[in-house]
Amino acid sequence: MKNNAMSEQKFLPFALPDIGEDEINEVVAALRSGWVTTGPKTRQFETDFAEFIGGGVEAIAVNSATAGLHLALEAIGVKAGDEVIVPSYTFTATAEVVRYLGADPVFVDVDPATFNISPAAIRAAITDKTRAIMPVHFAGLACEMDEILAIAREHGLKVVEDAAHALPTTYKGKLIGTLDSDVTVFSFYANKTMTTGEGGMVVSRNKDLIARCKVMRLHGISRDAFDRYVSKTPAWFYEVIEPGFKYNMPDTAAAMGIHQLKKIRRFREHREAMAARFDRELADLPLILPARPAHAGDHHAWHLYPVRIKPEAGISRDDFIVRMAEKGIGCSVHFIPLHRHPVWRDGYQLTPAQFPVADAAFEAEVTLPLYTRMTDDDQTRVIAAVREILGA
């Protein structure tokens, strides 16, 4: 009877965006203004975001974090024949942007507790072709950036942080985005800690890098289109100085971001509370729970709540996901490591034996739903389902 009642409940998806009337009204205002592409709301969002991050950064809004990573690598001078060190345990965007420039991603293993890129593995992968390191703050937990930055300084390498999961994450009391890396890129995809539907933000203190990203963001044009279109005197002339890209964020997306950003600290507090509850109520199960920040007082963004199923659970990860779906609860897997995907596996002759930590993590990992629109009852339902499936 209990199982039937649970199966009749509404399906609880893995993630949902948390969008309110403020965002809706701001988008409507953008539509009514006539500025539906990059314009005043994008400018406001960039200004607000830079102020939120602090540390003297400038911010450039783009139409995806993938676009932002591509712009960042281009701006730091990555070119054909170069190598960029990336973790295998990440989404394909981290590596694909390296190939956009004709360079090669060099895949390395991750830390067994955090799933973040291993500094020791970075050091072992450096060659005379290495130009940059791209750490990924997995699930919203900061990488050990002091070690990574020290390695970069020692070898004269650039650091581009893939912070798609990491808003607002801190490392030793500093927000990700304010460290001594060259560029940091955030994501506002629909399931991230805040959303603009599609979108991202590039931040840096380096004015030359920001200027380059700004030009390359919109076809390599030397002047901002917004400035030309609002000028009260003839301002039609522009020059294309590079073969750029089409990566600008429209005002309709930025309008959402303006209000999502105002809620981000509240969103983080909600996610932290939910993660703490999962920790408490799943602690006695045959699971490895997510790592927490290594440094006192730091914040995890809790974009994801990834657990690993221990062998003694008596159920495979795949079967666990099926059982959760039967109970009307969506789960996911983060990630299928890049060394398992044909494009990277075959193109770079990669094998699971080269990435024992990432491969073992993948075999056992499942990501439970955690998002700010979840109610206490929703979370109770997830916990009850996990406990029933694992025989508690």
Q: Which residues are catalytic?
A: 192
Confirm if 269 and 60 have CB atoms less than 8 A apart.
no
DSSP per-residue letters across 310-364: -GGG-S-HHHHHHHHHHTTB--B-S---GGGSHHHHHHTT--GGG-HHHHHHHHH
Other residues' Cβ atoms within 10 Å of the Cβ of residue 213 = 28
Degrees, nearest 5: CA angle 202-102-63: 30
Structure tokens at 365: 């990992």
Q: Tell me phi and psi for residue 163, to 5 degrees.
A: -105, 35
**Which of 230, 227, 174 has the alpha carbon at shortest distance from 203?**
174
Decide: 253 and 199 in contact? Cβ < 8 Å. Answer: yes
In eight-state DSSP terms, residue 129 is T
β-pair partners for 60: 202
Q: What angle do CA 315, 317, 321 make, to 5 degrees?
A: 100
